[in-house]
Structure 1
């Protein structure tokens, strides 16, 4: 494989010797660090790498923080976790779309994994270079046409069921985006499908996959019959009933499982995948059934204030693992509650000093009551603008607020 660079993280600088030997045989330049060293590094002391190799025993939050830190060097590495024991620690990382390595660390196996990661990183950089060259050569019009076509895949307006207030903010970092959202009616207009997703990377390549994934999800969901339980086998744990009792859950499951199957069968070589939150809401009761495929946990904000409830992942990112299982999650949006769904462009928004907006600031803004979904997004949008200031927007920003109004009397 071509020469590649990797940052290898280990808390004691003592990773498995077999892994080091395999990397050495594959001509991979390895920089060995602890997580604390990387998180404390600044400027030119930050290594630049194609791949981040982190132990699966490390918390997913720490791995994510290290990846963010490394991206400050100008290149965002592909994350791969490794484990030589305690293999159950790999599962949380797979749910976030990370690749993995397990023994035996044989050079051919390591080569195959890293080749995929290397090509994915190379493709992302190539797409960035193509966009830069297009601008330099005066192809702004072509990119504008691409944006207009992409906007045609987004809903012209949002459904407005009685007793609900829905609003969205969508800000691409470039002419075209990898984020997308959707809202449409299902089950003879008795249910409301809500989608927020983020295709890995950004730019033209991500935008093409955004259009593909959005079309697959909506088409499959809208054409899934009420009595079809084909996807139920994927949802039920071993030994439990395969029947999905919630109206709207079958189209939801069919859409996600079908899209994952199509992408892993036909487009695994491109290395693109999407984190997504896809939910089906019953407007009459406020009951919500959802699949969170490796996405930032949406936050259910209670009317009376207090700590927002995260809707954690119920499966991996879509397009990563063939024939994988996606579980269903359930929630209830009570009168006065607001569901806030967002992409990682929100907490990862940077100011001119390179400081992230951060998850804690998002939570602080949500803890304050809001009269409507629109009011909540206005508050969040204003805080993001103040934080980013004159800095360049590094990632697409998408936010959706679903607010259930309080009935008078």
Structure 2
């Protein structure tokens, strides 16, 4: 018989001696707990068992409550097995609730047969629940994929490449690319919701939707906080970006601060005609701007806190400019924090070295960094989502800075 652990609801009078003797003779592990303790003890202290055995005189609702608490421990779903020496009418309500039962004689062979049946049922139930959970996760993955853009709007003379690899079936990372201000500007977003799994995936969907919807429909209206007219102060496209970030932060901290989820993000507005960038970096890894002419890497540093972390946060603006041939590399911390089996990180230094090597295009750069991450992890568990975006401005036809300046003008 497969190894089975029985939690005996140890209520007075004590369980029949013949039942305990049969369990012992079959090598079944038995732990005894009182009903009050099982209903009040912290979940972390409760045992993980395959079978909950209780006397039939204990009300079915109490037995069901104990079984429910045992399920919450993360262990197997316990099969309820009630027993009665006499007063068999008490079994009826238990049977109606789906509880299995034992009646005298409590002979070893009979007990063994019933426990084998319980063990097989517990395993079948656990398998069915696991399959159902995996199916739900797959549905979640498909829904989440719908939140990522199917096609990236790419202005003439520019290229945009993205790599997205979740650590699990659903992810907390996301990216987005969409047009603003009557297609005169391009919004680029890469974000990382804290934690992993289903919780972060739900907040990923919420945060992505808030950011995009607010940015696309804000137009040139007043800033969410302060009533400042950014249209008169800052470049075109800043108002939608600032409205989106401030509005999302306000919503999250007003409604979801208790859940403790927040997101680091890089949100930039690109003017494709000039190559100018205006951005907000909310606690995110600093993207790198790679100058083709000099090979120099410039960091687009943090301009504010993570979104959803602090009420009434303020976010500064950063500015950059992409010359023809320049490359912008945006990433989440799953890249430098990729771990090898012994726990060492890939590291930012190694990542930056990969960026300085020449690449024919954005796809080659993404492939190079992606391969380095996979080689470093060595086939081990992927601990975090890995998202990268490469934006390149096409080189102009001249041979040097003077010719490029003339062409750009």
**Shared fold (TM-score greater than 0.5)?**
yes
1:137 alignment partner, one of 115, 124, 130:
130
- Give, in whole Å, the separation in 1 of the partners of 2:177 and 2:251: 22
Alignment of 1:196-235 (within 5 A): 196-226=190-220, 228-231=221-224, 233=226
2:352 aligned residue: 363
1:170 aligned residue: 164
When residues 308 and 233 of structure 1 are mapped into structure 2, their CA distance, relative to the original with a 3 A threshold, is farther
1:317 aligned residue: 306
2:407 aligned residue: none
My pick for the range that moved more, 204-213 or 136-145, is: 136-145
Alignment of 1:78-117 (within 5 A): none
When residues 408 and 229 of structure 1 are mapped into structure 2, their CA distance, relative to the original with a 3 A threshold, is same
When residues 399 and 129 of structure 1 are mapped into structure 2, their CA distance, relative to the original with a 3 A threshold, is farther
- Give, in whole Å, the separation in 2 of the partners of 1:313 and 1:136: 44
When residues 135 and 263 of structure 1 are mapped into structure 2, their CA distance, relative to the original with a 3 A threshold, is farther
- Give, in whole Å, the separation in 1 of the partners of 2:193 and 2:158: 28
1:136 to partner: Cα distance: 6.7
- Give, in whole Å, the separation in 1 of the partners of 2:300 and 2:142: 33
When residues 193 and 384 of structure 1 are mapped into structure 2, their CA distance, relative to the original with a 3 A threshold, is same
Pair 1:259 & 2:248 matched: yes
Pair 1:326 & 2:311 matched: no
1:298 alignment partner, one of 284, 287, 292:
287
- Give, in whole Å, the separation in 2 of the partners of 1:157 and 1:388: 30
SS at match of 2:218: coil
When residues 330 and 129 of structure 1 are mapped into structure 2, their CA distance, relative to the original with a 3 A threshold, is farther
How big is each residue's C-alpha offset from its partner over 1:123-155, in whole Å with a ceiling of 9 and x where there is no partner? xxx9x999xx99972221110000000000000
1:395 aligned residue: 384
- Give, in whole Å, the separation in 1 of the partners of 2:212 and 2:361: 27
When residues 233 and 302 of structure 1 are mapped into structure 2, their CA distance, relative to the original with a 3 A threshold, is farther
- Give, in whole Å, the separation in 2 of the partners of 1:266 and 1:306: 45
Q: Contact (CA 8 Å) 1:232, 1:242: kept in 2 or not?
A: no
Between structure 1 and structure 2, the one with the greater Rg is 2
Q: Contact (CA 8 Å) 1:300, 1:339: kept in 2 or not?
A: yes
Q: Contact (CA 8 Å) 2:222, 2:228: kept in 1 or not?
A: no
When residues 242 and 251 of structure 1 are mapped into structure 2, their CA distance, relative to the original with a 3 A threshold, is closer
TM-score of the aligned structures, taking structure 1 as reference length: 0.64
Q: Contact (CA 8 Å) 1:304, 1:369: kept in 2 or not?
A: no
Q: Contact (CA 8 Å) 1:186, 1:248: kept in 2 or not?
A: yes
> Per chain length, whose mean CA-contact separation is higher, i.e. which structure has more relative contact order (CA < 8 Å, sep 6+)?
1
Pair 1:188 & 2:182 matched: yes
- Give, in whole Å, the separation in 2 of the partners of 1:348 and 1:340: 16
TM-score of the aligned structures, taking structure 2 as reference length: 0.64
Q: Contact (CA 8 Å) 1:303, 1:369: kept in 2 or not?
A: no
When residues 235 and 384 of structure 1 are mapped into structure 2, their CA distance, relative to the original with a 3 A threshold, is farther
Pair 1:383 & 2:372 matched: yes
2:143 aligned residue: 149
SS at match of 1:211: helix
- Give, in whole Å, the separation in 2 of the partners of 1:230 and 1:358: 38
1:289 alignment partner, one of 260, 278, 283:
278
